[in-house]
Amino acid sequence: MSRIDDFVEDRPESRCDRVSTRAGAGLEWGVTCLIDAQPGMCGSVARTDLDAKDAALLRAMGLSPNVRVRVCRRGTPCILEIVGREGCGCRIGLAPELARHIFLDTVID
Amino acid sequence: MSECPRCDDSVSVGTSADEIAVRTVALLGNPNTGKTTLFNQLSGLRHKTSNFPGTTQEARVGVIRAANGMPNGADENSSDAGGETHLVDLPGIYSLELDQTEAEICRRVLAGKLSPKGEETREPDALLVVADATNLIRNLSLVGEGLSQRLPTVVVITMIDLARRMGVRVAPEQLEAQIGCPVVLCNPRSGEGVNEILPALDRARVSNRTPPGDRDALERWAESVYSLSTEHSLPCAAGEHGSARWMASSRLTDRLDNLLTHPISGLLSFAVVMAGLFMVIFKLATYPMDWIELVFARLGGLIEGTMPEGILREFLAQGVVGGIGATVIFLPQICLLFFLISILEDTGYLARAAFLMDRLLRPFGLPGLSFVPFLSSHACALPGIMSARAIPDRREKLATILVAPFMTCSARIPVYVLMISILFRDRPIAAGLAFVGCYALGIGAGLFSALIARRTILKGPSRPMALELPTYKVPSLRTAAIATYDRGMTFLKNAGTNILAICVVLWWLSAFPHVPPPGETVMLRDQAQTIRQAMDGVAANGSPVVAMTDADKAAAVAKIEELEASADRAEARHALSNSFAGRLGRVIEPVFRPLGFDWQLSVGVLTSFAAREVFVSTMAVMVAGVDDAEDAGVRDQIAHATRDDGVTPIFTEAVAWSALVFYVLAMQCLPTLAVTAREAGGVKWAVLQLAWMSVVAYAAAWVVMRVVG
């Protein structure tokens, strides 16, 4: 288990600036399927196993590998915020059929 | 300087003396970047809407005349003064490389292989790429793809006010240096910076930079360009002023999203929004509809009052004015609907509602995006079917087009009112429930039909929905007004061509051949003439009679009017009965007999192919002999009208139910079939739609006749 602060130091590009890191809390990193991700959870896109057409569309919409995201809502639709630099980004709504093929590197409480 | 001649900085558009009179500029950008607002700012109402040939994709071409009417007072000394710029609004896309119809259209337009109908097919003279400053890295990827097209390019950065609030400042000179073409910062909503676009287009040049073609490398290029051309005044650490405000806004958006997409609260808010929308449409539209009706009635009256009696007068007054008037009367409802839809879309609500509806429509094989066509179809199926263009999957789009006419359009309402008033006289609650039931039956039949279509002829996987959810914002009234104008003009164009042609044909069928008036009419008119002579102090044989008192004269005038009205009714009924439409009604009567329809009702079914509401006026003419079904007295006459035997009522309870169900479900609108053929890409789809809806309507009406009868 690694502390969030250590992780942030090691992989600054994965840090979600928009969410308090609650330094010192018992947190660990892991891979979470987007369909299971809780609202407020924050992380980066680890991998996807979408079909080529959907993958290309989502990537063009901004869901690129390692891009930072924040889960805003789970269920139908799953809403996530793509967190660009300085808070720039956009919100994407996804059907659960897509959300279950997207995996995030996330902070697990 | 590049070796490529087009990359030379001196190669620009619209500057040289021998420049072509019209330059074409393609407008490219991601969805939700303010592209449409910018298009509206640049071209205002000077635009035309058509489509890209061979596709159902709508194409808007704005005409910008530099010398007269520069947008927002732009520099009239621009070198292009006197020239004309045609701005082609391309569909919003995320990447030119995607396997999507919209991206394919953009690729072909930029390659000079496709252009909107009416425009010369050639490579655009320049490319205007719109990029959103609040999501610049993603937008720069599309800018990179645009630069690779090797066209003279200008990049417009929008939403700069929002980006500033987030602490991001785009440095245009640095960005220009990075991408190798002019950059304009603007805010299309307020008009800030819009004036600089036309002069910048004069300086448009082919970039001497070559962005990478590979997606990974392109994204890295976009990040690098972003880093080198933006300044960040507010670091995004929690607690800092700008960031805290942004986070608060984000939390508010989270709450609103949760509320509006929740299975319960979302549906409740959707119901409230839709109830409000329809209430506004039906309440507010009443006034302009009354005015339009009055104008067309006066126009018809003017023609009848000024032109000599004859075929031409009948043709103009009844065929042309009557036919167009019957359709144009729905224009206020259609305009209001599209105005409100545009407002809802601009607030960001429609994208959320599409997800909400996706949950409900998905079991029937339809995407959430189908709800906009369905919603529009509740005013009129024509714009409803046209708005199905936004559905990316072809099968889902076809299924939506095929079932959209099941939704209750405004034209069905007069028929519902007539039938329900026959069935539920003096029972307003039951009548109200029946009215709602008609809407529900239409929606249910549409969804059921979509399910069958998606499991048979349109079988295939459903594409799961992925949609960008735009930020919530105050809607732009200007954008809504222009969208309304567009839709209204499309509707009027259709009314003036297809619908007019159909109305003229049906008028001809119901007006010809001319037959001599029946004996009953002659007798009634003779009686009226006799009374008139008596009033003048002359008997029928010409001998003088005792002069009438004032009271007698008033009674005589009333009697004359009654006799002449009866004569008019009898004559109209006789004429329609012997017209081609009447004869056809007798021919097709056996087909509708199992539904309880006699030949008069069959004529009503036939004529309502021009427009459903024509059924009511046809029945008024058939049974009462006057073309004014708004009169409650006439409705009573229709309700109590009898068949040829003079005893059996036309509308027994079973027949009224049967006719009501038939009209809820039947496809009786030739203009809709014409639009279906065009939008679905073939007459076979229109034939299928007609056949399926007719079978469903017939079967349901037959069952109702058996059960109630």
Query: pLDDT tens digit string along B241-257?
Result: 445 666 677 788 999 99
Min Cα separation A36/chain B (Å): 17
Question: Across the A/B interface, how many CB contacts are shorter than 8 Å?
Answer: 127
In the prediction, which pLDDT does B546 show? Answer: 67
Listed in sequence order, the residues at least 6 apart from B245 whose beta carbon sits closer than 8 Å to its beta carbon are B165
- Distance from the Cα of residue B29 to its chain's centroid: 25
Q: Does residue B5 surpass a pLDDT of 60? A: no
Q: For position B36, what pLDDT does the model report?
A: 87
Question: Do the chains contact at B141 and A20, CB–CB below 8 Å?
Answer: no
Q: What structural domains does chain A harbor?
A: 4-108 (2.30.30.90)
> pLDDT for B630-680, tens place per residue?
555 666 777 887 787 767 888 999 999 999 999 999 998 887 888 899 888
How confident is the model at residue B541, as a pLDDT? 66
Average pLDDT over residues B407-414: 85
Cβ of B238 within 8 Å of Cβ of A88? The answer is no
Measured CA to CA in angstroms, residue B607 lies from A23, B423, B582, B624, B644 at distances of 76, 23, 10, 17, 20
Q: Note the pLDDT of residue A88.
A: 67
Q: Is residue B66 part of a domain?
A: yes
CB–CB of B157/B183 below 8 Å?
yes
Dist. CA A89–CA A10, nearest whole Å: 24
3-state secondary structure B491-541: HHHHHHHHHHHHHHHHHHHHHCCCCCCCHHHHHHHHHHHHHHHHHCCECCC
Residues 6+ apart with CB under 8 A from A71: A34, A37, A38, A39, A40, A41, A42, A78, A79, A80, A104
pLDDT in tens, B507-548: 788 778 888 888 888 888 888 888 888 877 766 666 666 677
B120 pLDDT above the threshold of 80: yes
Return the number of other C-beta atoms located less than 10 Å from residue B498's C-beta.
18
| For residues B296-312, average pLDDT | 86
Tens digit of pLDDT for each residue in B540-598?
Answer: 666 666 677 788 888 888 888 888 888 887 787 788 788 888 888 889 999 999 999 98
Distances (CA, A) of B305 to B106, B282, B300, B314: 55, 33, 9, 11
Tell me the mean pLDDT in the region A70-83: 91
- Using a CB-CB cut-off of 8 Å, the residues of chain B touching A94 are 464-466
CB B51 within 8 A of CB B58: yes
Token pair in block for residue B686: 């229109």
pLDDT band for position B309 (cuts 50, 70, 90)? confident
ipTM tops 0.90: no
Residue B240 pLDDT: 44
pLDDT at B649: 87
Q: Is B243 on the interface with A (CB under 8 A)?
A: yes
Q: Which pLDDT does position A8 carry in this prediction?
A: 36
**Among candidate residues B232, B248, B276, the one where a domain is terminated:** B232
% chain B with pLDDT above 70:
86
Element (H, E) at A70: strand A68-73
Instruction: List chain A residues with CB under 8 Å of B238.
Output: 17-18, 20
- Strands A42-48 and A28-33 come out as unpaired
- For the stretch A26-74, pLDDT in tens is 556 788 999 999 998 889 999 999 999 999 999 999 999 888 899 999 9
Confidence of residue B365 (pLDDT cuts 50, 70, 90): very high
> Which two structure tokens, joined as six digits, stand for B106?
């953009």
Nearest to A66 by CA among A2, A8, A107, A15: A15
- Which of B232, B266, B284 is at the close of a domain? B232
Q: In this structure, what DSSP letter does residue B642 have?
A: B
- Pairwise CA distance, residues A94 & A98, whole Å: 6
Cβ within 8 Å, pair A56-B234: no
The answer to whether A72 contacts B253, with C-beta atoms less than 8 Å apart, is yes
Ramachandran class of B379: left when φ > 0, alpha when ψ lies in -120 to 50, beta otherwise: alpha
Beta bridge partners of A106: A30, A43
Residue B8 confidence (pLDDT): 45
Q: How many helices (H) and strands (E) does chain A have?
A: 3, 6
When pLDDT is averaged across residues B254-261 and rounded to a whole number, the result is 93
Q: What residues make up the domain containing B147?
A: 5-232
Average pLDDT on B182-204 reads: 91
Give residue B491's pLDDT.
Answer: 75
3-state secondary structure B387-436: HHHHCCCHHHHHHHHHHHHHCCCHHHHHHHHHHHHHHCCCCHHHHHHHHH
Q: Across the interface, do B141 and A60 touch by the CB < 8 Å criterion?
A: yes
The letter for the amino acid at B170 is V
CATH number at residue B217: 3.40.50.300
Average pLDDT, chain A: 76
Instruction: Give the best-scoring range by mean pLDDT among B114-118, B283-287, B365-369.
Output: B365-369
Count other Cβ atoms within 10 Å, centred on residue B362.
18
Whether residues A61 and B138 touch (CB distance < 8 A) is answered with yes
Beta strand B153-158 pairing with B84-89: unpaired
Give residue B277's identity as a one-letter amino acid code: L
Q: How far apart are CA B28 and CA B25, in angstroms?
A: 10
Q: Is B608 helix (H, G, I), strand (E, B) or coil?
A: coil
Q: Of B106, B257, B229, B118, whose CA–CA distance to B168 is shortest?
A: B229
Check CB contact of B634 with chain A, cutoff 8 Å: no
Least confident of B60-64, B93-97, B123-127, B485-489: B485-489
Q: Which residue, among A20, A21, A45, A90, would best test binding to B if mutated, counting the most B CBs under 10 Å from its CB?
A: A90
**Residue found under tokens 């520069």:** B70
Domain membership flag for residue B397: no
Specify the pLDDT at position B452: 96
Which residues in chain B are contacts of A76 at CB distance < 8 A?
261, 263, 355, 358-359
- Report how far apart, in Å, the C-alpha atoms of A39 and of each of A5, A50, A94, A106, B251 are: 21, 22, 14, 12, 11
pLDDT in the model for residue B25: 95
Tell if the CB–CB gap between B261 and A60 is shorter than 8 Å: no
> Measured between beta carbons, which residues in chain B are less than 8 angstroms from residue A58?
466
Confidence of residue B81 (pLDDT cuts 50, 70, 90): very low
Asked whether residue B21 is domain-assigned, the answer is yes
Average pLDDT over residues B690-701: 96
Q: Are strands A102-108 and B466-469 parallel, antiparallel or unpaired?
A: unpaired
Q: How many domains does chain B have?
A: 2
Nearest by CB to B247, from A18, A90, A95: name it. A18
Q: Whole-model pTM?
A: 0.74
B473 vs A20, residue with greater confidence: B473
Residue A88: what residue type?
Answer: C
Q: Which residues of B380-417 are buried (b: 16+ CB within 10 A; e: fewer)?
A: bbbbbbbbbbbbbbebbbbbbbbbbbbbbbbbbbbbbb
Query: pLDDT-based confidence at A9, cuts 50/70/90?
Result: very low
List CB contacts (< 8 A) between B97 and chain A: 56, 60
| Residue B276 CB neighbours (<10 A) | 11
- Tell me the chain A residues in contact with residue B254 when contact means C-beta distances shorter than 8 Å: 39, 72-73
Whether residue B308 is predicted with pLDDT greater than 50 in this model: the reply is yes
Identify whether the C-beta of residue B147 lies closer than 8 Å to the C-beta of residue B181: yes
Q: Kindly report, residue by residue over B7-42, the tens digit of the pLDDT.
A: 444 344 544 444 456 889 999 999 989 898 899 889
For A83, counting Cβ atoms within 10 Å of its Cβ (0-12 exposed, 13-18 middle, 19+ buried), the class is buried
Q: Among the listed ranges A25-34, B380-389, B677-686, which one has the minimum average pLDDT value?
A: A25-34
pLDDT at B208 over 60: yes
Strand A78-83, strand B58-65: pairing: unpaired
Q: Given B206, B232, B258, which residue is the final one in a domain? A: B232
DSSP B626: -
B8-22, B299-313, B379-393, B615-629, range with the lowest pLDDT: B8-22
**Mean pLDDT of the residues in chain B:** 83
- Measured CA to CA, the distance from residue B120 to residue B651 in angstroms comes to 58
Q: What is the pLDDT of residue B70?
A: 42
Cβ-based contacts of B232 with chain A (< 8 Å): 85-86
Alpha carbon of A14: minimum distance to chain B alpha carbons (Å): 15
Residue B281 belongs to some domain of the structure: no
B139 touches chain A (CB under 8 A): no
Beta bridge partners, A99, equal none
Q: What are phi and psi of B665, to 5 degrees?
A: -105, -20
Check pLDDT > 90 for residue B386: no
